[in-house]
Amino acid sequence: MLLTFVVPQFTEMFESAGKELPLPTQIVVGIAETLRDYWWALPLVVILIASFWRNQMNDPDRRYVWDSRFLKIPMVGDLLIKIEVANFSRTLATLMTNGVSLLTAM
């Protein structure tokens, strides 16, 4: 919404001031213009990306590669590990509270 309605207004404001836009702003304006001109392609791109992602996640070997890449991302990897350890601990605690032996619960 911002890219299609707000950014063009800022572009007009900067053009009327006669100032050159900084590179990051030029990139955002370019994305906004592309989105405005080719809005119809956005659902197609989303469907293609979702199909590709589903295909990648259904193959165990490719999923292992993606998981290892995610774990190597500096802050994201630590967060993912902590989330998984918390989920494992919560499930283990629930099983043991309900009388399941440790060996069976593991």
Splitting the chain (106 residues) into consecutive groups of 10 residues, what average pLDDT does each group show?
A: 75 74 83 85 94 95 94 94 96 94 90
At 75, which amino acid appears? M
96, with CB counted inside 10 A (0-12, 13-18, 19+), is: middle
- Specify the pLDDT at position 8: 75
- Specify the pLDDT at position 56: 94
- Specify the pLDDT at position 100: 92
DSSP conformation class of 59: S
Which residues are CB-contacts of 36 (< 8 A; sequence separation ≥ 6)? Answer: 3, 4, 8
